[in-house]
Amino acid sequence: MAKQLGGAGLRGQVAGKTALSTVGKSGSGLTYRGYDVKDLANNCEFEEVAHLILKGKLPTQAELDSYKEKLRSLRGLPDALKEVLERIPKDAHPMDVLRTGCSMLGNLETEEDFSEQQDATDRMLACFPSIICYWYRFSHDGVRVDVETNDDSIGSHFLHLLHGEKPSELHEQVMHVSLILYAEHEFNASTFTARVCASTLSDMHSCVTGAIGSLRGPLHGGANEAAMAMIEKFESPDHAEQEMMGMLERKEKIMGFGHAVYSDSDPRNEIIKQWSEKLAKDVGDEVLYPVSVRCEEVMWREKKLFCNADFFHASAYNFMGIPTKLFTPIFVMSRLTGWAAHVMEQRADNRIIRPSADYTGEELRSVPPISER
Ligand SMILES: CC(=O)SCCNC(=O)CCNC(=O)[C@H](O)C(C)(C)COP(=O)(O)OP(=O)(O)OC[C@H]1O[C@@H](n2cnc3c(N)ncnc32)[C@H](O)[C@@H]1OP(=O)(O)O
Ligand SMILES: O=C([O-])CC(=O)C(=O)O
């Protein structure tokens, strides 16, 4: 059953064209440049999908090797950026750190001309994990990590910097899947933010900085952190059910459920849920995964609301030892590909995005003298 699309929030209104992805239209429900996300998640590394989204085609082995080599060479951070990161307090939210880091990078390595858009994007793709982990390890552990690792992938680079050791094969694989699932999603709020910014002919770093701000909220990317905060309070599936029933009765929003476009399932959920189950077995979990499954059952039974991409990401990331506040920055590391590709698409066929509003204010009136107000 298709979701009723209309009403506030521009829901269901066509606001532009894209050749990058379809949501709720074909295959399992999500396609990137014509490939089903399930197919991509089962058969590709994230860097192949980044190449597909940003450069228009799946790479050959030689193209992939050279793309990964290029990304590896771009992991270092300028000293001025490290200095800024060192001044950000420990209790800052990592999404704010990333927003500042991206903006600072735009000052140091400004995109002077649109011909630099691919290089500016590759640089961010390579160094966002460095930015987030440099700040995290400095502010939390007091160490200045060497961010120039030789790890094979963006996901393993991130886990290596975070934990101080190379990740297991399982964890590297889960990072590939997770980054693929989060990479692109048509005209979602953060991507639309990036496109609006691009439509003024602004620079790539401004578009991405704005998009990070939009992704941060709990109704969008921030939902994976909010979901974690909720499930970690539940001691058992029965406890989860009891608490969820209370939340529903109080008409509270339950993060990680529902979607603006999908009507009865988010195709990314089935995939990340399987990986969460594998990770649960790997760590011997007997609480978080069964609690998450019960939450899913209760929400469907009571409200016909389904898990979106964020819900099982919470337990999966937790099982890999990732601190909750770093969940949404991982989303950024991935969605950067979608944002940048949309910026490029907008630039290639641009008209400034400037919709209209229905006015609901006062009728025309004259300004009274200040003594009479
Ligand atoms: C990667 C991502 O960004 S995926 C989205 C991540 N966000 C979340 O998980 C936050 C929780 N979910 C939500 O807030 C919403 O489902 C959104 C923002 C994702 C979509 O919003 P909308 O398109 O406006 O939702 P929709 O029209 O389906 O809502 C229908 C009804 O279900 C309710 N509803 C929707 N989601 C939820 C939820 N998670 N918990 C409780 N009730 C919900 C709405 O409040 C609404 O009720 P109402 O008619 O009484 O007002
Ligand atoms: O499309 C949306 O509204 C939100 C979403 O799932 C995403 O951005 O991945």
Ligand closest to Cα of 339 equals: 2
| 8 Å CB contact between 35 and 323 | no
- Which residues are known to be catalytic? 259, 310
Joined tokens for residue 34: 């014509």
- Positive or negative, the CA dihedral 161, 163, 169, 171 is negative
Report which residue type is found at 185: H
Share of the chain above pLDDT 70, in %: 99
219 CA → ligand 1 middle, Å: 8
**Residue closest to 302 by CA, chosen among 263, 251, 265:** 251
Encode pLDDT of 91-119 as tens digits. Answer: 999 999 999 999 999 999 999 999 999 99
Position 196 scores a pLDDT of: 98
Joined tokens for residue 344: 């490029």
Provide the pLDDT confidence category of residue 316 given band limits of 50, 70 and 90. very high
Give the Cα separation of 296 and 213 in Å (integer). Answer: 28
Encode pLDDT of 107-150 as tens digits. Answer: 999 999 999 999 999 999 999 999 999 999 999 999 999 999 99
Is residue 307 in contact with ligand 2, taking CB distance under 6 Å? no
Position 3 scores a pLDDT of: 73
Residue 144 contacts by C-beta under 8 Å, 6 or more apart in sequence? 82, 134, 137, 138
Position 6 scores a pLDDT of: 77
Ligand closest to Cα of 313 equals: 1
Is residue 5 in contact with ligand 1, taking CB distance under 6 Å? no
Ligand closest to Cα of 189 equals: 2
Encode pLDDT of 214-223 as tens digits. Answer: 999 999 999 9
Give me the residue label for tokens 């944002």: 339
Q: Which atom of ligand 1 is nearest to the CA of 182?
A: 1
Q: Which atom of ligand 1 is nearest to the CA of 260?
A: 23
Per-residue pLDDT for 290 more than 80? yes
Per-residue pLDDT for 1 more than 70? no
Encode pLDDT of 160-213 as tens digits. Answer: 999 999 999 999 999 999 999 999 999 999 999 999 999 999 999 999 999 999
From 188, 191, 224, give the residue whose CB has the most ligand 2 atoms within 8 Å, as the site to mutate. 188
Is residue 259 in contact with ligand 1, taking CB distance under 6 Å? yes
Provide the pLDDT confidence category of residue 263 given band limits of 50, 70 and 90. very high
Is residue 328 in contact with ligand 2, taking CB distance under 6 Å? no
